[in-house]
Every structure is written in structure tokens, then in C-alpha cells.
């Protein structure tokens, strides 16, 4: 099976993103997206730290990926979140979400405040093979992508969930908002192989990124997953690079 994960940058690169999806949808089984707007009628900058974005991104991606089933996980009200698209014919066994960070006092007018964060998960089946897919957009902090108590707690909650669901093969992807050498990442490596580290990936950002942190996006696999191919894709459709995984399960 083939999976692509991408932080869409809220769809700022509309033409490039549309072309990317049309190019890769035939050969891809699973898309995992972060920064997805769902018919948002307010100010884009209320939910992310820039003032541009595609307020109808979810519907537009759904229209392009007509051969896929769409699963949206709302995080900020019902207008902003993450999403998984499964090629039609893949059986959904179970699904849910795990709250990774909670902020009941979130103020969308405060640029230093972060809304709740979640992990979206799905247990899917293709033929006789089962795998769990987990899609994460991790806690954002204006001070950077280093360890914080909230991020340590985020990793602890992920591990607690992983250890509760048995030996089904697992793949966890997304924008974790974490540098590579953090304790928060090392905690996740307790249950997973970190493909960014294993393959010596020096950056998951594109030329559109103007910051200093070169890692934010990760792909983690459990020991039951056979990695057939893994790479950072060259397409510049966001300030994050798409990550590609071809895999099988034992």
C-alpha cells in the first residue's frame, strides 16, 4: 500500500496542491492531511499563524479525490482540523481520536495561544491484512519546536494509546511540531521506528519555509510494518514537504 502525508499549509498553494493530488491519486491508497479548513467563514488567521488559506479546502480536496472516502477530524470547532482519505474499497474496521493537548482557555485572537490538538486513528483492512493509521498535528508553541511539558504529555498520551490497542501493525504520521532531537520524539521511538532518523532525513521543509527548524514532519512504523519505500517528495505544494511511504504488513 502507498501513503502520503502532508501539512497542506491550509491550502495556500492551491494550484500546486490541486495538481499534486491529481498526479498522485491513482497510485496512492491513503492520504493524511494536516491544516484542513472546512467551510470556514471567519478570518483565516484566527486559527493559524498566517492570514491566507483556502477556507473550503476540505470540500475541494474531496472533489478531487472522488475515488476516496473522506474522514475529517475537527479540532478547532468544526472548521479546522486534520483528515484521512482512504481509497474506496479499503475497509474501515474502527476509528476514533485521542486528545493530545487541551486548552479550554484558547483565545483565537491571541497569536501565542494554541487550540486543542488531536490524533486521528483508523484501523483499516485491505484483503486479509490489517493496519492502524494515525494522523497527528502536534501542539504548537510560539517559542519553537523544543520539548515542553505539554509536548512530553502529548507523547505520553500517544504511547498510552498505542500500548492499549494490541499488536495490530501501526503507522503514525503527521506534523508533530517537534525538532528531531527532542525527548518528546525519543519517547515515541519506544514503540516505533522513526523513518526520518533511520533514513537520515535532514529536512522536511520546502523552499517556502522561512524559519530555522528543519524537522517537523515524521513517519513512524511499528515492527510489524515492512517498509518498501520511504522518501521526502520534491513537490513544493506547501512549506512542508510531502512524505511518501510504500509498505506491507506481516
Torsion angle, alpha carbons of 47, 177, 81, 108, to 10:
-20
Instruction: Provide CB contacts within 8 A for 186, sequence distance 6+.
Output: none
Cα radius of gyration rounded to whole Å, the chain: 17
Is the per-residue pLDDT at 28 higher than 90? yes
Q: How many residues does the chain have?
A: 250
Domain ranges of the chain: 2-249
Instruction: Provide CB contacts within 8 A for 95, sequence distance 6+.
Output: 71, 120, 121, 122, 123
pLDDT by residue (tens digit) across 155-167?
A: 999 999 999 998 9
More confident residue, 73 or 126: 73
pLDDT by residue (tens digit) across 132-146?
A: 999 999 999 999 999
C-beta of residue 83 within 8 angstroms of C-beta of residue 41? no
Can you tell me the mean pLDDT for 72-99?
96
C-beta of residue 175 within 8 angstroms of C-beta of residue 138? yes
Angle at 140 between CA 24 and CA 211, to 5 degrees: 70
The domain 2-249 is placed in CATH, from the list 3.90.1420.10, 3.60.10.10, 3.40.50.970, 3.60.70.12, at: 3.60.10.10
d(CA 87, CA 25): 9
Is the per-residue pLDDT at 181 higher than 90? yes
Q: What is the pTM (predicted TM-score) of this model? A: 0.96
Q: How many helices (H) and strands (E) does the chain have?
A: 5, 12
Amino acid at each position: 500500500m502507498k501513503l502520503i502525508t502532508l501539512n497542506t499549509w491550509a491550502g495556500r498553494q492551491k494550484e500546486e496542491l490541486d495538481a499534486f493530488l491529481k498526479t498522485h491519486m491513482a497510485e496512492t491508497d491513503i492520504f493524511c492531511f494536516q491544516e484542513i479548513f472546512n467551510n470556514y467563514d471567519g478570518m483565516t488567521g484566527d486559527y493559524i499563524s498566517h492570514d491566507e488559506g483556502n477556507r473550503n479546502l476540505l470540500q475541494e480536496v474531496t472533489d478531487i479525490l472522488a475515488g476516496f472516502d473522506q474522514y475529517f477530524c475537527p479540532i478547532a470547532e468544526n472548521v479546522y482540523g486534520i483528515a484521512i482519505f482512504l481509497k474506496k474499497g479499503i475497509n474501515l474496521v474502527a476509528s476514533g481520536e485521542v486528545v493530545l493537548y487541551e486548552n479550554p482557555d484558547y483565545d483565537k485572537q491571541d497569536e501565542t495561544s494554541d487550540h486543542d490538538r488531536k490524533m486521528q486513528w483508523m484501523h483499516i483492512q485491505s484483503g486479509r491484512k490489517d493496519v492502524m493509521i494515525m494522523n497527528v498535528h502536534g501542539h504548537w508553541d510560539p517559542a519553537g519546536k523544543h520539548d515542553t511539558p505539554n509536548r512530553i504529555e502529548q507523547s505520553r498520551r500517544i504511547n498510552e494509546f498505542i500500548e492499549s490497542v494490541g499488536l495490530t501493525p501501526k503507522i503514525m504520521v503527521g506534523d508533530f511540531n517537534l525538532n528531531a532531537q527532542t525527548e518528546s520524539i525519543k519517547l515515541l521511538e519506544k514503540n516505533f521506528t522513526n523513518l526520518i532518523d533511520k533514513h537520515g532525513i535532514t529536512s522536511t521543509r520546502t523552499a517556502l519555509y522561512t524559519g530555522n527548524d528543519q524537522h517537523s514532519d515524521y513517519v513512524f512504523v511499528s515492527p510489524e510494518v515492512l517498509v518498501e519505500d520511504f522518501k521526502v517528495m520534491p513537490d513544493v505544494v506547501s512549506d512542508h514537504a510531502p512524505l511518501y511511504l510504500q509498505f506491507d504488513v506481516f
